[in-house]
Amino acid sequence: MSETIEAFLFRQKNFVAQTKWPPGTKFFCERCGDCCTWFFILMKTDEDLNDALRQRVKYPHGSWVMKEKGKILVQMPGYSFTGNIPEAQTEYIMETGRPWGYWVLSKQGQIALYNPTPCVHLSEEGLCGIYEIRPRACKMYSCRRHPIVP
């Protein structure tokens, strides 16, 4: 993987922001596997935590690891904290076999947790190997790449 989290999120944001779809447009999954290769969750944080992180470094970032179901340990040089994550994301992390990764604090007060490791269910062909029984978080993912225009 040669793309950084910032480059990936910027690319995704630009793709969605620059594309104007007509009302009633629906999207479908072609099972391309991109969402299975770059996993990320955006979590809202409180202002006290944002301030504490920004006081330590100008651009807060570091590593994270799931310590137990629903709890992650977030680390950066000289500082760490434990946080809760929503049940759907916990399920997704456990079922895709990616319980660790990296994080970055956005200017909007969100922590982007990401893991550039492919899902354990991604086939050699780069397709989802459990598509029919994939976790709820995977079913809810909408990449908005393949439109069906009315």
Question: Beta-strand (E) ranges in 8-117?
Answer: 26-27, 39-44, 61-68, 71-76, 79-84, 100-105, 110-115
Q: What is the pLDDT of residue 10?
A: 62
Closest of 114, 104, 130, 103 to residue 33, by C-alpha: 130
User: What's the whole-model pTM score?
Assistant: 0.61
CB 118 within 8 Å of CB 124:
no
Q: What is the pLDDT of residue 1?
A: 41
What confidence category does residue 58 fall into, taking pLDDT thresholds of 50, 70 and 90? confident
Indicate if the alpha-carbon torsion angle 133, 137, 138, 139 is positive or negative.
Answer: positive
Rounded Cα–Cα distance for residues 57 and 76 (Å): 9
Q: What is the mean pLDDT of residues 68-72?
A: 86
Select the more confidently predicted residue: 44 or 10: 44
Rounded Cα–Cα distance for residues 104 and 110 (Å): 8
One-letter amino acid for residue 133 of the chain: I
Domain ranges in the chain are 25-148
Select the more confidently predicted residue: 130 or 109: 130
**What is the percent of the chain with per-residue pLDDT over 70, rounded to a whole number?**
79
CB 80 within 8 Å of CB 74:
yes
